[in-house]
């Protein structure tokens, strides 16, 4: 049963990711078409706005490299037409770094644009120079197919990074992978593994982090990475790290054979992605408000007078409590016959606030995107009568959460998330209604309770903002179905603060 539930959860989460990818790519293609219409009307700034919005929605890794390259290429065209040739050239270069095989959009291939495009694309173009940044790094001019690529950086500023990573994307890879560097000589080094050494262009950039895992240094970025061509054969010697031999061909024993110099560290040079740079355990505190749509009912306070179910509510969706003293079941066995038929509490369907929930949660990060965990909490405003079967005012749940993005637990910033949960909890809502009794002059106010649960299933989603890789704030919304006593739909916002350990 547990395996089936986990399989279902994984299917839902990965299907949602696939749906997000398809939606982003569809929006990107639509933006390319809309930009052509704006271009035809000479509204280059509007076309640029449309393309830039689509390119942002494609991040991180929701669109193919070719489609992202097309967006950047057309953004560069609009910038040049709008008078900003420098930015246009930069986006042309970024586009070619994602897909060197693309050509200029035929709709914009006028002479001036074609000249700039060819200039950027031509070998040795000044615009195709490698990016700059805080680190000192000289990329290898080329690397041979099926040989890992060594990368080495130095930093001579006043900031002292606690760690340095390289994020790389080889030919055919759909996203950037993370690899942690180690101290080598006067800097940091690593060997990008075999999986990225297929024929084509290998892209990468560097990030330096402080002791709180916040990025403080950079060398290139995702849109402007360092690039190294991977070829069937190369001229000259294979690249190597300072004080180390060049790596061997993939499959020929170790990928990195080292002969450390006196300055080289004894640490093994990493050749596989580092997945330790994020918190595995997340402790959270959350608060949520439920809303529900009440079912309509007539004479909701009356009870069955005779038979096996004597004393049970006539309408199983409802139970009533009196106002004097507050919380005591209404009506009593003596009061029940005095209720006036048709005036024993009538409710119309409508939106109504329900419970407030305060929970403590613990989640385990199986991967950078998938967390599984549990929560326990207190339910405020719960039904306290004895007529309806109800659960104690506690909330017990198990859940799975998918955080979208490339390694979202490793860095600060926003990331959308999807949540699926289930468990046991009290679900109810109440409102004050008027009832008439033959022994009472006028009408009497009582509380009518719609009680649901204790079982529930829920789906939710929202935005997660990480202040750092160890602290995050989540704002989301849930839709819940309680079942058991009666069906109870609920929905509402939820705020959560999490700390990673």
Q: pTM surpassing 0.75?
A: no
Q: How far apart are the first and last CA of the chain?
A: 30
Q: What is the pLDDT of residue 121?
A: 77
Contact criterion met (CB below 8 Å) for 478 and 459: yes
Annotate 207-241 with b (16+ C-beta within 10 A) or e (fewer). Answer: bbbeeebebbbebbebbbbbbbebeeebeeebbbb
Residue 331, classified by CB atoms within 10 Å of its CB into exposed (0-12), middle (13-18) or buried (19+), is buried
In the predicted model, is pLDDT for residue 252 greater than 60? no
Structure letter (DSSP) for residue 296: P
392/56 Cα distance (integer angstroms): 47
In the predicted model, is pLDDT for residue 50 greater than 80? yes
Residue 292, classified by CB atoms within 10 Å of its CB into exposed (0-12), middle (13-18) or buried (19+), is buried
Structure tokens that stand for 131 in this block: 């990016």
pLDDT, tens digit, 9 for 90 and up, residues 434-447 = 999 998 888 889 99
Contact criterion met (CB below 8 Å) for 150 and 202: no
pLDDT, tens digit, 9 for 90 and up, residues 57-67 = 876 567 787 88
Q: What is the pLDDT of residue 258?
A: 36
Structure tokens that stand for 288 in this block: 């949520």
Per-residue pLDDT band for 389 (boundaries 50, 70, 90) equals confident
pLDDT, tens digit, 9 for 90 and up, residues 166-224 = 999 888 787 788 999 998 888 999 999 988 888 888 889 999 998 888 889 999 888 78
CA distances from 481 to 111, 374, 458, 486 (A): 62, 18, 6, 10
301/315 Cα distance (integer angstroms): 8
In the predicted model, is pLDDT for residue 5 greater than 80? no
Q: What is the pLDDT of residue 132?
A: 80
Domain boundaries, the chain: 2-128, 131-274, 281-500
Q: Provide the Cα torsion 217, 221, 224, 227; round to 10°.
A: 90
Q: What is the pLDDT of residue 261?
A: 38
- Over residues 115-131, the mean pLDDT reads 68
CA distances from 250 to 237, 269, 272, 338 (A): 17, 15, 13, 89
322/445 Cα distance (integer angstroms): 8
375/361 Cα distance (integer angstroms): 4
- Over residues 27-40, the mean pLDDT reads 89
47/33 Cα distance (integer angstroms): 10
In the predicted model, is pLDDT for residue 129 greater than 50? yes
In the predicted model, is pLDDT for residue 246 greater than 90? no
Q: What is the pLDDT of residue 251?
A: 65
In the predicted model, is pLDDT for residue 497 greater than 50? yes
Contact criterion met (CB below 8 Å) for 391 and 425: yes
Q: What is the pLDDT of residue 125?
A: 46
Per-residue pLDDT band for 8 (boundaries 50, 70, 90) equals very low
Q: What is the pLDDT of residue 472?
A: 94
pLDDT, tens digit, 9 for 90 and up, residues 290-343 = 999 999 999 999 988 776 677 788 888 888 988 666 668 888 888 889 999 999
- More reliable by pLDDT, 99 or 393: 393
Structure tokens that stand for 62 in this block: 């929701």
314/295 Cα distance (integer angstroms): 14
Q: What is the pLDDT of residue 267?
A: 47
In the predicted model, is pLDDT for residue 384 greater than 60? yes
Structure letter (DSSP) for residue 298: S
In the CATH scheme, what is the code of domain 281-500?
Answer: 2.40.160.20
Contact criterion met (CB below 8 Å) for 446 and 432: yes
In the predicted model, is pLDDT for residue 364 greater than 90? yes
- Over residues 45-52, the mean pLDDT reads 90
Place of tokens 């993005």: 405
In the predicted model, is pLDDT for residue 12 greater than 60? no
131-274 under CATH 3.30.2010.30, yes or no: no
Task: For the chain, give the mean pLDDT.
Answer: 84
Judge whether 131-274 and 281-500 match in fold.
Answer: no
Strand segments, DSSP code E, in 295-425 are: 318-323, 326-330, 350-365, 370-380, 394-403, 413-425
pLDDT, tens digit, 9 for 90 and up, residues 467-477 = 888 899 999 99
Distance of CA 319 to the CA centre of its chain: 41
If you average pLDDT over each of 49-53, 166-170, 239-243, 415-419, which comes out highest?
415-419
Closest CA to 62 of 17, 16, 14: 17
- More reliable by pLDDT, 99 or 251: 99
In the predicted model, is pLDDT for residue 4 greater than 70? no
């Amino acid at each position: 049963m547990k395996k089936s539930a986990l399989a279902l959860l994984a299917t839902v989460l990965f299907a949602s990711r696939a749906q997000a990818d398809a939606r982003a790519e569809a929006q990107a293609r639509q933006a390319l078409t809309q930009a052509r219409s704006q271009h035809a009307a000479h509204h280059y700034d509007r076309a640029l706005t449309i393309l830039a919005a689509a390119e942002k929605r494609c991040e991180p890794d929701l669109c193919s490299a070719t489609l992202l390259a097309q967006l950047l290429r057309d953004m560069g065209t609009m910038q040049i037409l709008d008078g900003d040739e420098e930015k246009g050239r930069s986006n042309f270069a970024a586009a070619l770094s994602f897909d060197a095989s693309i050509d200029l959009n035929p709709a914009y291939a006028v002479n001036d644009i074609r000249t700039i495009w060819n200039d950027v694309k031509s070998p040795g173009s000044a615009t195709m120079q490698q990016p700059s940044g805080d680190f000192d790094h000289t990329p290898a001019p080329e690397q041979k197919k099926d040989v890992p690529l060594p990368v080495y950086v130095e930093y001579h500023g006043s900031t002292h990074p606690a760690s340095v990573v390289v994020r790389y994307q080889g030919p055919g890879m759909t996203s950037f992978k993370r690899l942690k560097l180690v101290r080598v000589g006067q800097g940091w080094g690593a060997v990008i593994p075999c999986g990225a050494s297929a024929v084509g262009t290998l892209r990468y950039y560097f990030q330096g982090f402080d002791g709180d895992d916040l990025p403080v240094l950079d060398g290139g970025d995702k849109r402007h990475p360092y690039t190294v061509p991977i070829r069937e054969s190369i001229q000259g010697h294979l690249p190597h790290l300072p004080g180390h031999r060049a790596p061997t061909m993939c499959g020929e024993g170790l990928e990195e054979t080292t002969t450390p110099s006196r300055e080289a560290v004894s640490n093994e040079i990493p050749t596989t992605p580092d997945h330790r740079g994020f918190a595995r355990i997340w402790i959270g505190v959350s608060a949520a408000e439920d809303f529900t749509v009440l079912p309509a009912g007539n004479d909701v306070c009356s009870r069955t007078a005779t038979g096996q179910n004597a004393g049970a509510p006539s309408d199983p969706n409802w139970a009533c409590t009196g106002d004097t003293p507050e919380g005591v079941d209404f009506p009593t066995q003596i009061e029940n016959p005095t209720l006036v038929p048709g005036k024993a509490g009538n409710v119309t369907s409508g939106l109504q606030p329900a419970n407030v929930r305060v929970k403590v949660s613990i989640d385990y990060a199986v991967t950078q995107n998938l967390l599984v965990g549990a929560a326990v909490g207190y339910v405020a405003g719960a039904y306290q009568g004895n007529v309806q079967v109800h659960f104690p005012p506690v909330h017990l749940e198990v859940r799975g959460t998918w955080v979208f993005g490339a390694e979202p637990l490793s860095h600060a910033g926003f990331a959308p998330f999807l949540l699926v949960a289930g468990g046991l909890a009290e679900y109810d809502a109440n409102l004050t209604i008027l009832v008439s009794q033959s022994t009472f002059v006028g009408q009497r106010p009582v509380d009518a309770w719609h009680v649901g649960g204790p079982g529930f299933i829920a789906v939710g989603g929202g935005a997660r903002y990480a202040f750092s890789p160890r602290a995050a704030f989540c704002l989301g919304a849930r839709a819940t179905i309680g079942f058991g006593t009666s069906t109870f739909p609920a929905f509402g916002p939820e705020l959560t603060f999490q700390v990673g350990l």
